[in-house]
Chains A and B, each alone.
Chain A
């Protein structure tokens, strides 16, 4: 059941046809299409988009922290089709089910370029990617504690407290 606003969009239609359970939400704003994807279907959706819809490029993977709102994390995939000159955004809300908290399948098997982006999200948000070839910190030092882009992480870090503030 695609929302009316995107029902006629060929991209959304193609995904819906092949994986009817995957799209949980869809909206279109500022001329950009955003599809909400179920957490456990992201790899299949990416594979369909790359192989049969023509989104051959992954621009980036990032995340948004909505703390203290629940569900807290949203992983965002920015896709680009060079042939069609189209862009698409996939949103995955993490932790809708209690047992799947803060963990999602890696899409490195679809695009190798996802490697560093997923490492960055892991480093700065603490979201784990299953089946990632090398899930290590990339920006922060290896022994760093905490994940700086989380909203409950202070700008100056946990280790220091400034009395004057």
Chain B
């Protein structure tokens, strides 16, 4: 009788507990053909477990099929597609400017990074020049997006591992960032604030004061959360030495962003291919060599500090000037002008009804989203609708490494590892 059959028999009262002693077990002969083919380490009992698609620690609708031996994961197969909404298909049926609200919904925790990347791609096709004020404002908002996205990551990651209070602090601070976004665009999350040719609206009165107050608060906050967790022995034990993967394997599997930086590779699209005048700002690309969940935590915490540093620089040196490009055929005219000047009215009518034509060609634009390399490959056939918009989303590439990363780890560690990948399922499935 094999162990699990015996256990079941004992539970059902069919076998005596006395038959459990070792001596007795030795004499039991396995009926031929029923022997387990290979003796596995651990219990020798394989089990397939479905994690998700509705599971709190998969942060959305991700399904991971785990093959377990006791508590050890032998094989993990991520299954995606539960949130596939066909955004790339929808883009093809819309005008260029109508795609912006869709990009918000790709990575719904880093909306402005997606707005920015798409806008930059189309602006390159149109050869538009963006005024400095709009560029700096974009940098500021993209960095605030990074902080708010990292706050969500930190809160939920810590919650998964059991540190509940950090979650409340993080969401409290994130709410303050969302209030600033609301002040700018009228929307907390789906901002659509960065548009082709500049910004959607003029920055609101009092933005400088609001962002200054926010930054002062965040400067303190980030240190506080790091102290809360880095001095917590449970957190350190659960994260140090967990989820390691060789750097070349990560690159091979398409991983980008903080995961590579936590393995010691200094890679950041803001430095490597600067856009929106990122080259004018003074900031560091944090790296660690731990290559585990803890190193990824440290890298992201340091990134928040660097983002705070960048936002401070934008506050000090924000140039004045127009917030939209001087391109009447692309940018909607000022409301007042539209109502008083014939030419503006015609442009307004043409942009709203027909859109604007983009010269034929294709570009691949990369920005550094909070999760890694975000790229938009936009193909134009010369009409007012994009022929193809491909979104190279960082979560898709990072998630591909999950299966290999989970092999051989304990099931409890899989929660920490998934948290450290920081994927957003909207970003994976599009």
Question: When the two chains form their complex, are residues B363 and A78 in contact, meaning their CB atoms are under 8 A apart?
Answer: no
Number of A-B contacts (CB under 8 A): 85
Contact pick for A149, options B88, B272, B375, CB 8 Å: B88
Q: Report whether B267 and A138 are in contact in the complex, using a CB–CB cutoff of 8 Å.
A: no
Residues of B near A82 (CB, < 8 A) are 251, 265, 267
Tell whether, in the assembled complex, residue A60 and residue B392 are in contact, meaning their CB atoms are under 8 Å apart. yes
Distance from A5 Cβ to chain B, minimum over Cβ atoms (Å): 14
A157 CB to closest chain B CB (Å) equals 9
B364 an interface residue at 8 Å Cβ cutoff? yes
Q: Mark B372-403, 1 if CB is under 8 A from A, else 0.
A: 01010101000000011010100011001000
A-facing residues in B242-283 (Cβ within 8 Å): 248, 251-254, 265, 267, 272-273
Chain B residues near A32 (CB-CB < 8 A) = 363-364
A116 close to B (CB within 8 Å): yes
A140 touches B273 (CB 8 A): no
Cβ-defined partner of A139 (8 Å) among B84, B93, B363, B387 = B84
State whether B88 touches A56 (Cβ < 8 A): no
Cβ of B219 under 8 Å from chain A = no
In Å, the complex CA distance between A116 and B364 comes to 20
- Inter-subunit contact A113/B254 (CB<8 Å): yes
Kindly list chain B residues whose C-beta atoms are within 8 Å of the C-beta of A59.
254, 364, 373, 375, 392
Whether the Cβ atoms of A58 and B254 lie closer than 8 Å is yes
Enumerate chain A residues within 8 angstroms of B361, measured Cβ to Cβ: 29-30
Q: Which residues of B contact A30 (CB under 8 A)?
A: 124-125, 361, 363
Does A76 sit at the interface, judged by CB under 8 A? yes
Query: Does residue B350 face the partner (Cβ distance < 8 Å to A)?
Result: no
Complex Cα–Cα for A65 and B366 (A)? 22
B252 lies within 8 A of A155 (CB): no
B81 at the A/B interface (Cβ < 8 Å)?
yes
Bitwise interface map of A from 63 to 76 toward B, beta carbon under 8 Å scored 1, else 0: 01100000000001
**Residue A115 at the chain B interface, CB threshold 8 Å:** yes
Some 20 contacts from A to B, beta carbons below 8 A apart, are A29-B363, A30-B363, A56-B251, A59-B373, A59-B392, A62-B392, A78-B392, A80-B373, A82-B251, A82-B265, A89-B364, A111-B254, A113-B252, A116-B396, A116-B400, A139-B81, A139-B84, A139-B429, A149-B88, A151-B92
Nearest 4 A-B pairs (CB), nearest first?
A113-B254, A139-B84, A60-B392, A62-B390
